[in-house]
Amino acid sequence: MSKRRLPRNAAARIGNERIAILLELAEQAVRDGRDDRAIRYVTLARRIGMKTRTTLPPGFRYCRECMLPMIPGSNCSVRLTGRKVVSTCGSCGAVRRVPYLRENRK
């Protein structure tokens, strides 16, 4: 790859395209039971995101520990406990808690 610098918005656009492709492949890999490939795809997508300073699409969820895409009903469990959504990775057991009912906060 050439070292020539792209303008930031051009890099971001290309990055977004490539991230979208990689994440699609990652979800497909999970469905095919190829977790090793899925982890590789997510790692690459994150790296592109950092390089081009774009974020992964907000709808895409993955385990922060083992980088496996989290697909509810397939490889992770999602439970509601009062104020938090608790997502547990089915592969490494990492737990992620995201608060909801923000308006209830005092």
Q: Could you give the CA distance from residue 106 to residue 25 in angstroms, rounded to a whole number? A: 42
**CB closer to Zn ion, 12 vs 94:** 94
Q: Could you give the CA distance from residue 93 to residue 96 in angstroms, rounded to a whole number? A: 10
Q: Which of residues 15-74 bind Zn ion (CB under 5 A)?
A: 63, 65-66
Q: Are 84 and 95 in contact (CB under 8 A)?
A: no
Distance of closest approach, residue 32 Cβ to Zn ion, in angstroms: 18
Distance of closest approach, residue 45 Cβ to Zn ion, in angstroms: 16
**CB closer to Zn ion, 6 vs 92:** 92
Interface segment toward Zn ion; rule CB under 5 A; list 36-44, 53-61, 72-80, 91-99:
91-99
Under DSSP, the state recorded for 42 is: H
The reply to whether 76 sits near Zn ion by the rule CB under 5 A is no
**Binder of Zn ion out of 19, 30, 39, 89 (CB under 5 A):** 89
CA-CA-CA-CA dihedral for 67, 71, 18, 33, to nearest 10: 80
Helix (H) or strand (E) holding 14, with range, is: helix 8-31
Q: Give the binding site for Zn ion (CB under 5 A).
A: 63, 65-66, 89, 91-92, 94
